[in-house]
Amino acid sequence: MSDVAIHDLATMSSEARTRLLERTEADLTDTIRKVEPIIAAVRTRGDDALIELAARFDGVTLDRTALKVSASQIAGAEKELDPDVVAAIRLSVAQVRRFHEAQMPDNLWLNEATEGALIGDRWTSIDSVACYVPRGKGFFQSSAIMTAVPAKVAGVARVVIVTPPGPDGSADAATRFIASLIGIDDIYVCGGAQAVAAVAYGTQTVPKCAKIVGPGSPWVSAARQLLSNRIDPGSPAGPSELLVYADSSVPAALAALELTVESEHGPDSSAFAVTTDRALAEAIAAAVPQFWEAMGEYRADFSRTVLNGRNGGIVLAPSIEAAFDFINDYAAEHLAVLSTSAFELLPRIRNAGEILLGPHSIANFVLGPSHVLPTGGRANTASLLSVFDFMKRSSIAYLSQAAYQRLAPAARTFAQYEGFMAHANSVSEIRDRILSNSSPFTRPVRSR
């Protein structure tokens, strides 16, 4: 019997199919209840709460001076790393920077589609952002690159990193080295819900930020929900999820290998291979265990839990239409299309955080696009993290007198119909009289 679940859509009830679409983070009710007192503690007690929560959740003893990573620790981080890791980080930073520099919009865009009127957009960066770099089931220093580099490219004035402390109370060396490479001076060792609260309210040490970005645990997601009126919570990025579409043009072992990639993140991950070929489905399921043997028991246990449960395995579809209906309904964080016809299949895909076409996939540590992607089915409306997450747009409009006179009557009609008389007055002869007065004042100023 296979250790990988096979879910047959042809024999499945609509209720069972709906359950397959659910994510482990769908209901955060219990987590929100636990997070509320954490947020309250940070709001009222600041640094003291962060120190106590670090002892409680991370098992480390900190003092206020340890909450912020020192300049010397950032500057000396490279010496703590293997040269191969340093080279990989340098390559990733360069690739991600290059991609996002090319993505940057023009600062100002104007057109005269309406004669006599200049209308367009102006892009400006946000003032501050906190980049959350997780640490728990592993090191996630790549998240520092994938969030902070586009923030710096976008021109954010203050970019800070918040990350849980390690066993010795420090930020990991790779995160510190990345900060040194991209010009970030502010790293704070606080994690989980308390980190979100810290940058939402500000503490004696941690600065208040306008936005927080980056992947995180359900505790981080719950805190973001609760604090969305205090800080922009950023794009949703919860537990990892993957769909792999595979057909008989690729080896079953390749699809099996891909399934292990996201399922190794943790038992709350989701990972499915989707195919219309029953023999291929069975071959994929049979091929997975060989990769568990090559992963190490810690990660293999996570992958087994995911792939033998409701949140993972093989989805057998009765037709290609049914396969892509499931794929689009699922709206996965990652979608790998393993087929020699991958580009021909692309028009069938509407919803996915990222789409990896063809057999030569290296995910996106070093490709350029950010790997911070919408999870929980939110890829049906949300996009991957980019420079646009660190910028906002203002509409710009300038009207000549002729354009104003041509458009004002219709604007006045709208205002009158909706009952806004000041709006109507502002596009009436009242404005004309004011502008026709040669004096800049509407009435003379009397001297005393």
H or E segment to which residue 218 belongs = helix 218-226
- Report how far residue 422's alpha carbon sits from residue 150's, in angstroms, rounded to the nearest whole number: 43
User: Could you confirm whether 334 is annotated as catalytic?
Assistant: yes
**Containing H/E element for 99?**
helix 83-103
Residue 342 has which token pair?
């991958």
Q: Which of 100, 334, 354, 371 is catalytic?
A: 334
Which residues, in sequence order, are CB contacts of 432 under 8 Å at separation 6+? none
Counting runs of H as helices and runs of E as strands, what totals does the chain give?
Answer: 18, 13
Structure-token pair, residue 168: 């010795």
Contact between residue 376 and residue 108 where contact means Cβ atoms under 8 Å apart: no
Which pair of structure tokens corresponds to residue 356? Answer: 């990896």
What does the DSSP assignment read for 161-183?
A: EEE---TTSS--HHHHHHHHHHT
CA proximity to 223, closest of 352, 39, 409? 39
- Please identify which of the residues 25, 78, 258, 333 carries the catalytic annotation: 333
Our answer to whether residue 344 is catalytic in this structure is no
Amino acid present at 170? S
The residues, ordered by sequence, that sit 6+ positions from 64 with a Cβ below 8 Å of its Cβ are 47, 51, 204, 205
**Distance in angstroms (rounded) separating the CA atoms of residues 435 and 427:** 12
Count of residues making up the chain? 448
Name the token pair of 111. Answer: 């057109």
Q: Which residues are catalytic?
A: 333-334
